[in-house]
Copies of this chain bind each other. A is one copy, B any other.
Amino acid sequence: MYGDVDIPAEIQRALSGFLDRQEERLTAIGPELAEQVQAARDATSGGKRLRPSFCYWGFRAAGGDPEQPILTAAASLEMLHVSALVHDDVMDSSDVRRGAPSAHRRFEALQRERAAKSGHGADPVGFGVGAAILLGDLCLIWADELLHTSGFDAAALARAEQYFDAVRVEVTAGQYLDLLAQASGESDMDLALRVLRYKSATYTIERPLHVGAALGGGSAELISSLSGYGLPLGEAFQLRDDLLGVFGDPAVTGKPAGDDLREGKRTVLIAYAVDHASEIQLTEFNRLFGRPDLDDDEIQLLREILQDSRAVQACEELITDRTEDALDALDRAPLADDQARKALTDLAVAATSRVV
């Protein structure tokens, strides 16, 4: 909870109510569609609700009236996030998301069960992938519907739309850069930094602030000053997330320890290590990085290379610098509301500190 409103609870309520209405509409087409709605319910449960929180406080920072349906509109960013996660898990063949089976694995299990019961039916893996692609599509469509049926008037929605269009396209573009980075088989700091920005930074913090501020009628000056806070903070957030992907506690991250090392995710952390490792370290690194069958000792060895090459320290310094830049920009930003300033300060810490 930040400030005077329990954002996670309100977002959960908005998402549940919306999905109740979608369930009515979809099961009228076919009772089978309840499976998709249930998958959407599970995929939109939990999580830190960071994007809606930034949207809410962007709105308040612009002097928006909290009696307006800002939390319904903000829920659209959570729905968009879930769409991206579901498709991302298909693309990465990830088995686990937030400690539960990823969407495509869930549908795969459903189909396996159905085939076992009926004695026929084929290809549960293909079914799982197809059903998850459709779930991601539904969530992408619903993100838009949540925003434009939120109850804001047409003028407010028209102001927000350009930012909502931007964030949807940017995150998809960032995903494509990420896919290229993974497929290239080598580390490239420039590409890793662009993935950091578009796959995560703008989409997690800057754009949600913009959508909220635009709904609240914020000036061009305010919106620009929110970029000064949101962009560096978004990068710090993702750098922290990259460190957690390698060093994080599975109980906190909801993913197996060292999962990003097995997946071979070419993050800024990894690009730095590759650029600065000794020849011996690099040979060892290249031998192990991205192997799906890494054991605990090998994970530990890779972690040591990331420490010894000073990649971890470099990322920690970047996080500190970027967070300070964000807070300095926040100090100078013409916010309409002191509670928003306080909440955005708290959120900066929450999004980048070691234990999130």
A residues in contact (CB < 8 Å) with B: 22, 25-26, 29-30, 32-33, 36, 83, 87, 90-91, 93, 111, 114-115, 118, 120-124, 126-127, 129-131, 133-134, 136-138, 140-142, 144-145, 148-149, 154-155, 157-158, 161, 165, 168-170, 172-177, 179-180, 183-186, 191, 194, 198
**Which partner residue on chain B sits nearest A165 by CB separation?**
B145
Determine which of B124, B136, B169 lies in contact with A26 in the assembled complex, contact meaning CB atoms within 8 Å: B169
Determine which of B29, B36, B157, B169 lies in contact with A170 in the assembled complex, contact meaning CB atoms within 8 Å: B29
- B87–A133 contact, CB under 8 A? yes
Determine which of B133, B137, B141, B183 lies in contact with A165 in the assembled complex, contact meaning CB atoms within 8 Å: B141
**Which partner residue on chain B sits nearest A198 by CB separation?**
B29
Within the complex, the shortest CB–CB distance from A81 to chain B, in Å, comes to 13
- B122–A183 contact, CB under 8 A? yes
Distance of A257 Cα from B30 Cα, bound (Å): 32
- B134–A172 contact, CB under 8 A? yes
Residues of B within 8 A of A93 (CB): 126
Within the complex, the shortest CB–CB distance from A197 to chain B, in Å, comes to 8
Residues of B within 8 A of A123 (CB): 183
Q: Given A134-B179, A145-B165, A165-B141, does the pair A120, B185 have CB atoms closer than 8 Å?
A: yes
- B148–A161 contact, CB under 8 A? yes
Dominant secondary structure of chain A at its interface with chain B: helix
Q: Given A141-B169, A169-B138, does the pair A176, B131 have CB atoms closer than 8 Å?
A: yes
Within the complex, the shortest CB–CB distance from A79 to chain B, in Å, comes to 13
Within the complex, the shortest CB–CB distance from A75 to chain B, in Å, comes to 16
Residues of B within 8 A of A184 (CB): 114, 118, 120-121
Distance of A265 Cα from B87 Cα, bound (Å): 25
Within the complex, the shortest CB–CB distance from A228 to chain B, in Å, comes to 19
- B137–A87 contact, CB under 8 A? yes
Within the complex, the shortest CB–CB distance from A35 to chain B, in Å, comes to 8
Distance of A61 Cα from B335 Cα, bound (Å): 50
Q: Given A26-B169, A173-B33, does the pair A111, B183 have CB atoms closer than 8 Å?
A: yes
Within the complex, the shortest CB–CB distance from A179 to chain B, in Å, comes to 5
Distance of A175 Cα from B136 Cα, bound (Å): 13
Known contacts A122-B183, A144-B165; 19 additional CB pairs below 8 A are A25-B169, A29-B170, A29-B173, A29-B194, A30-B173, A30-B194, A33-B177, A87-B133, A87-B134, A114-B183, A115-B183, A118-B186, A121-B183, A129-B129, A131-B176, A134-B176, A137-B137, A138-B169, A141-B165
Within the complex, the shortest CB–CB distance from A176 to chain B, in Å, comes to 5
17 intermolecular pairs with C-beta atoms under 8 Å apart: A22-B169, A26-B169, A29-B170, A29-B173, A33-B173, A33-B176, A90-B133, A114-B184, A121-B186, A123-B183, A133-B133, A134-B175, A138-B169, A141-B165, A141-B169, A148-B161, A154-B154
